[in-house]
Structures are given as structure tokens and as C-alpha cells.
Amino acid sequence: MTEFKKAYDAHLEEFQKNAHIKGMEAYQRLYRESLESPDTFWARQADHYLTWYKKWDTVLDYDFSEARIQWFGGGRLNASFNCLDRHLETREEAVAYYWEGDDTARAQAYTYGELYRRVNRFAAALRHKGVKKGDRVIIYLPMIIELPVAMLACARIGAVHSVVFGGFSAEAIANRINDCGAKVVITADGGFRSGKPVALKKNVDEALKKCPAVKTVIVVNHVDSGIFLTPGLEHWWHELIALPGLADEVEPEPMDAEDPLFILYTSGSTGKPKGVVHTHGGYLLYAAMTMEYVFDLHPGDIFWCTADIGWITGHSYILYGALVNGATSVMFEGVPSYPDFDRFWAIVEKYRVNKFYTAPTAIRSLAREGEAHVKKHDLSSLMLLGTVGEPINPEAWRWYHHHIGRDWCPVIDTWWQTETGGHMLTPLPGVAPVKPGSCAFPFFGIDPVIIDDAGEPVKHPDEEGLLCIRKPWPGMARTVFGDHERFISTYFSQAPGMYFTGDAARKDEDGYFWIIGRIDDVINVSGHRLGTAELESALVLHPHVAEAAVVGFPHAIKGQGIYAFVILKTGREPSDALKKELVAQVRREIGPIATIDVVQWAEGLPKTRSGKIMRRILKKIAANKLDELGDTSTIADESVIEKLIKDKVDVSK
């Protein structure tokens, strides 16, 4: 500890003057209370953070064996009211979002009052189109103000939004529309990326060929592409909200605390993405509370989370957590490299951002471009740096801390998941020194345990095992939409009586947690989760492919890259052209985030005698760890391995 203490606690004294949690003892006292008296603890938080139409009858009721979890049962509230209406009295003129376009000349500030008016108007438009409480609405938009407006308008009338990240394909949109039974889709003609328009509506058109139930498409005119809409089915956003007779204000629908607020799809180890369901009550509370404590939010802060709202990080910390707290955030449409690699730092300087939250992959890609880009800007406003999405390697951590954080800002490495709703393991800036690469301690109410293969808690510091959570917390997912059995089998079966995270971890002798990574067949590419089964299904759709196996391998920028072993059908010849076709095929099926880095042609795959592919071995081959192949005695035909090693693609090039 002493070594870290010296190097990385420069910020501590200063944070402790003003932080919400001052020092280890204060943290431990509150943490203990959160586990020993969860009802009192969480009732106090729910009272403090949220405005309720009706208070709850019971704080918590749960049974992990059936994955039945209920927080604030009988309570009634509305997420949109909590994000907007209750700030009007004191913060109507306060800025909710400083929106910054991809084009440096486009920027706009939106106050809480302005957001309130836009959300109400659009909620009225949705009602007019027949959207009712409980209906699902798919939102496929770029990072423009209509995205939070659409989400909050859904929440206001009790509809359940499901945002699909703009980088997903037509196929992915269609699957999500059909899985959740949405009849309404909200999109834009396009978005801007690196100065160029990117078409979005045409992906929706393509998707809708497979979605006969969709009755309404609402389109934002963002890039002025001059597209034509199908009368009756499709409507321009700006025309819809201008309809005469539409109400200016819509009463928020009083929702049960356990009513779904949104569905967000995420990859798992089987082929089909899961629709993770979050609630109006527990989720909202947990997003708000983690936002305030983890980023040590104070009035006057300018917060910037660089995630896309299409991911859980954006849902929780650009939208819900930020707005419940009445915070001021930056919302950015573009990419870190346009017009140049200093764009992030130019924005930090422009808005005097003091709390900045990004992903390790962004840090690595910017570090590669050198410090000159950083030095062009005054970053002295920065007080706190956060990261999320994947383990951060020590070099990237140090670059971030040194060049961006002046060797002073704490780096808050937050570990959490789509399913957890908010931060789970994370340093708090005023509590203790940070350690590069460690996500430090559990947040209040979180009871983590690392278990061994027998399901027993590990006995020694630094012993690796599976990370599980022993007790429910308000922000946890409640089900997989339409498939509760899958929710039970994915999260509550590996370690009965606990929530199973899918990550391996260890805890050191100072009590700091270190995440090792996924133990299931999920690859984390630039902080985005991709299931190997999804990738393999996309590959075998190609008429020349007989079989495919996909694994992750260490990648300098993306964290993990995608390595595909492909067996062609008899009579088909490998070629570079075919390789390109396969890469394009997977991008088309899933989206550009699923870009295969390496294709290795194979004649056979290592399989057990019962026919199961031995991924453990493929992973070692892809990572070039040939001396770590381990026990290969259960393999049906060992010569397959020699052949794969001989033909292996050198990923270091």
C-alpha cells in the first residue's frame, strides 16, 4: 500500500475537504450500515434522491432462486418527473446539456426548462400516435438532443424505450424490434461522423422488411438528406410536434416502482442478445446515487461522459443519473479524432469540464497520437477522471493520470455492467489512494464475493475466482425481456443464491478488487460486448463457410481483437477476396463494431470426443501463447492443433 499511497494520493487531502465521503472510516461506516440495515439505508436514499407520488410499502422483497427482485414495492413515481419537473422551480434556467456537434461550428446549450418543454411536446406527439403505458418503443438515433428527449418522453407516458446504438446494423435493429414487440421506431435521416453524413434511416428501412408489426416511424431531420417518407407510416419529428391541438404539457404517468423504464440489449455467451430490463424506481435511485458519490458531484460541476447514450453508460450517466441530480453535462455527437486528435481536449477546455468519464480504448488510441495534442489545451479545470468498460492497462492509466490529470486527478476505475444499472466496484475520490488498474471497493449496498470452482469463497488475498454478488441492490436488472428462465439460468444458477457476473477477479491484501475479465464466451472489443456465438452465426451465414470458431486476442488499442478460425466447404478455396467478404458479412449482420481483425483458414478445429470446440486452446493459439496450451489429452484428433499452429496468423504485425 505504501508505494501506491505515495504515488497516487496527491488528490486525497484536497478532496477530503469537500467530498461527500471523507476518508476510509466514513466510507466503512456507511458501507457497513448499507449491508447490515439495507431497509433503513435504502429507504433514506429513496427519500433523498427521488420524489414519489406514493411511498413504498416494503423496501425490499426478493428470492434469488427464482430471480424475483422487488424494490420499493407499492411505491409510485415517474422517472421523467424526477429528471425534469422537480428541477423547474430552482433550475429552469440551468443548463442540462451543452451539446457539441461533430462539426465544431455546431453547438447548443439546452436548459432544464427547454428540455422539459421539448419532452412534454414529444410525449404529447407519442400519445397522439397511440403510444400507451407499457408499449415498447425502439430508438435508433445519433447523439443529438432528440435522443434524451425521446427517452424521457417515453418514460413520461410510461412507454418502455429500447435504444439501439447507431452503430448496429439493420439485422440487429430488426431482431430487437421483433424481440420486444415494438410498434413504433424513432430514428433520424442520418448522423454526422468525422465531417461526413452517415445514413441511419436506410438501416431502419431495411430492418422494417422483417418487422410487419411496426405501425409508426418518426424521423428527425438531422443531416438534411432530402429523403422521402412513406405517407401514413412515417412522420417527420418536426411536423409531428407542430401538429395543431397537441398539448404543451403531459401529466407524467404514475408508475409502479417496479414497472419497466427501459430495455437494453446486450450480448451474452449464446447467440441471441438479451433484453435487459430496468425499472423506474430502483434503477433510477441507483443511477442517481452512484452519479453523485462516484463523481463526487457538486453544484457548478461540468460533467462529461463520452459514451454513446446507446450503451448503459450513457443511459445512467448522461441521462438518468445526471438529470435526477440536476447536473450540467456535455453531450458530444462526434468522435475523438475529428477534426483532429485533440478534439476531446478542445471540448474540455471550451466548457471547462471538471469531471471526465471515458473508456480505456479511447485513452489508448489518443495516447498513441502523442502528447502534442494534449499540450495545445488548457486542461486545468479537470478534477476527476473516470474510466469504464474494460480493464485499464497500467501504461494507459499512467498516461491518463500524468498527461490529462496532471499527476493529480484521481482515476476512478468503475467496474459495472449493463445488468447492474450503475457502478458496483469503484474508488470514491475522497476515500483512499487509487491503484492503477484496480476498481478498488464495493459501492454502498454491494456485497461482492470471489468464489472458487467449488462455489466456496476464496481463502487468500490475490486468489483468482469468479466474481459474484451476494445481495440485491436497487439498480440490478429484473429480468430478460420475455425470457425470465434465461435470466435465472444466466445470472442465478452458476452460484446458487448469488448474482453471477461472468467476470473473474481477485482482491488484494488491502481489500482492493482487480477485474481479470470475462470467463464466458464474450469478447470485449473497445469496451463493447460481443458474443462469440453471435459472430460465429454471422460467419456461417456465408454460403462458402462450413464452420467457424471465434475467440478474442490481446489488442493494443481495442483491448481485445476478434480472431476467427474458418473452415470452408469442400471445393471452396481461401482467398483475400473471400476474407474481405467475410469481414463485410459480419459487419452487415451485427454492425461496424463487429469488425473481425484476423481470419485464419482452418481444416479442422480442436474438439472434445463429444464434439465440443475447445476454445481454451484456440484462445492460446490466437494469443500466440503456444507453451500454455495445457492438457490436450481430451482432444479427439491432436494433429489438428499442430496444423492450426503452423498456419497461425501473426497478430503482432
Q: Which residues are annotated as a binding site?
A: 313, 389-391, 413-418, 503, 518, 526, 529, 540, 542, 545, 587
Quick one: which H or E segment has residue 355?
A: strand 355-358
Crossing angle (nearest 10°) for helices 170-180 and 201-208: 60
Verify binding: residue 526, ligand WTA, rule CB under 6 A. no
User: How many Å separate Cα 126 from the centre of its chain?
Assistant: 26
Per the annotation, binding residues for ATP are: 389-391, 413-418, 503, 518, 529
Report in angstroms the alpha-carbon separations of 628 from 30, 302, 443, 619, 643: 45, 48, 36, 10, 17
Q: Which of 518, 534, 563, 271 is nearest to 390 (CA)?
A: 518
Query: Residue 358 or residue 417: which is nearer to ligand WTA going by CB?
Result: 417
Q: Which residues carry a binding-site annotation for CoA? A: 313, 526, 587
Rule CB under 6 A: choose which of 390, 521, 534, 536 binds ligand WTA.
390
CB of 248 to ligand WTA, least distance (A): 37
Q: Residue 294 interacts with ligand WTA (CB under 6 A)?
A: no
| Minimum CB distance to ligand WTA, residue 504 (Å) | 9
Identity of residue 126: L
Stretch that binds ligand WTA, among 163-171, 248-256, 387-395, 454-462 (CB under 6 A): 387-395
The C-alpha atoms of residue 444 and residue 76 are separated, in whole angstroms, by 24
Q: Which is nearer to ligand WTA, 179 or 413 (CB)?
A: 413
State yes or no: residue 388 binds ligand WTA (CB under 6 A).
Answer: yes
Report the C-alpha gap between 315 and 317 in whole angstroms: 6
**For the chain, what is the largest distance between any 2 Cα atoms, rounded to a whole number of angstroms?**
75
Q: Cβ-count burial of 360 within 10 angstroms (0-12 exposed, 13-18 middle, 19+ buried)?
A: buried
Q: To 10 degrees, what angle do helices 112-128 and 146-157 make?
A: 60
| Helix ranges restricted to H, 352-423 | 360-367, 372-375, 394-399
- Rule CB under 6 A: which of 627-646 touch ligand WTA? none
Are the C-beta atoms of residues 44 and 50 closer than 8 Å to each other?
Answer: no
**In angstroms, how far is CA 68 from the centroid of its own chain?**
24
- Choose one: 56-64, 68-76, 151-159, 382-390; the region binding ligand WTA (CB under 6 A): 382-390
518 binds ligand WTA (CB under 6 A): yes
Does 503 engage in binding with ligand WTA (CB under 6 A)?
yes
Residue 266 C-beta: closest distance to ligand WTA, Å: 5
* Residues of this chain, 527-586, that bind ligand WTA according to CB under 6 A: 529
d(CA 358, CA 405): 13
474 binds ligand WTA (CB under 6 A): no
CB of 110 to ligand WTA, least distance (A): 25
* Choices 285-293, 510-518, 535-543, 625-633; region in contact with ligand WTA by CB under 6 A: 510-518
Render 242-310 in DSSP notation, one character per residue: T-TT--S--PPPPEETTSEEEEEEE--SSSSPEEEEEETTHHHHHHHHHHHHHTT--TT-EEEE-S-TT
Within 397-426, which residues bind ligand WTA (CB under 6 A)?
A: 413-418
**Least distance between ligand WTA and beta carbon 568 (Å):** 33
What would the x/- binding string for ligand WTA be over residues 304 to 343, using CB under 6 A? --------xx------------------------------
Question: Which listed residue (273, 502, 559, 606) binds ligand WTA by CB under 6 A?
Answer: 502
Binding mask 158-177 for ligand WTA (x = CB under 6 A): --------------------
| Residue 623: all three cell numbers together | 494469443
Query: Which residues ranging from 225 to 284 are in contact with ligand WTA (CB under 6 A)?
Result: 266
What are the cell numbers at 385? 477522471
Q: Which residues of 362-396 are buried (b: 16+ CB within 10 A; e: fewer)?
A: bbbbbbeeeeebbeeeebeebbbbbbbbbbbbeeb
266: left (phi over 0), alpha (psi -120 to 50) or beta: beta
* Rounded Cα–Cα distance for residues 57 and 41 (Å): 15
- Of 206 and 464, the one with the shorter C-beta distance to ligand WTA is 464
The distance of closest approach from Cβ of residue 524 to ligand WTA in the complex, given in angstroms and rounded to an integer, is: 6
- The piece of 229-237, 499-507, 531-539, 567-575 that touches ligand WTA (CB under 6 A) is 499-507
CB-nearer residue toward ligand WTA: 75 or 273:
273
**Separation CA 253–CA 109 (nearest Å):** 28
**What CA–CA distance (Å, rounded) separates 644 from 535?**
20
Return d(Cα 479, Cα 469) in angstroms, integer. 16
Q: How far is the CB of 392 from ligand WTA (least distance, A)?
A: 7
389 touches ligand WTA by CB under 6 A: yes
SS (H, E, C) 422-457: CCCEECCCCCCCCCCCCCEEECCCCCEEEECCCCCE
Q: How big is the site for ligand WTA, counted in residues (CB under 6 A)?
A: 22
Q: Which residues are annotated as a binding site for Mg(2+)?
A: 540, 542, 545
Q: How far is the CB of 14 from ligand WTA (least distance, A)?
A: 24
Instruction: Please report whether residue 471 would count as binding ligand WTA according to CB under 6 A.
Output: no
Residue 473 engages ligand WTA in binding (rule: CB under 6 A): no
Nearer to ligand WTA, 220 or 305 (CB): 305
Nearer to ligand WTA, 201 or 529 (CB): 529
Closer residue to ligand WTA (CB): 389 or 465? 389
Name the amino acid, one letter, at 432. Answer: A
Which listed range, 156-164, 327-335, 474-482, 501-509, lies at the site for ligand WTA (CB under 6 A)?
501-509
Nearest distance in Å: CB 396, ligand WTA: 12
Nearer to ligand WTA, 164 or 388 (CB): 388
In the complex, the smallest distance separating the C-beta of residue 412 from ligand WTA, rounded to whole angstroms, is 9
Cell numbers standing for residue 403: 498527461
Whole-Å CA distances, 579 to 163, 481, 596:
32, 36, 10
**What string marks each residue from 197 to 216 as x (binds ligand WTA by CB under 6 A) or -?**
--------------------
Helices (H), 416-547: 484-491, 532-540
Q: Shortest approach of ligand WTA to residue 349 CB, angstroms?
A: 26
In the complex, which residue's CB is closest to ligand WTA?
A: 418
Binding site for ligand WTA (CB under 6 A): 266, 312-313, 388-391, 413-418, 439, 501-503, 515, 517-518, 524, 529
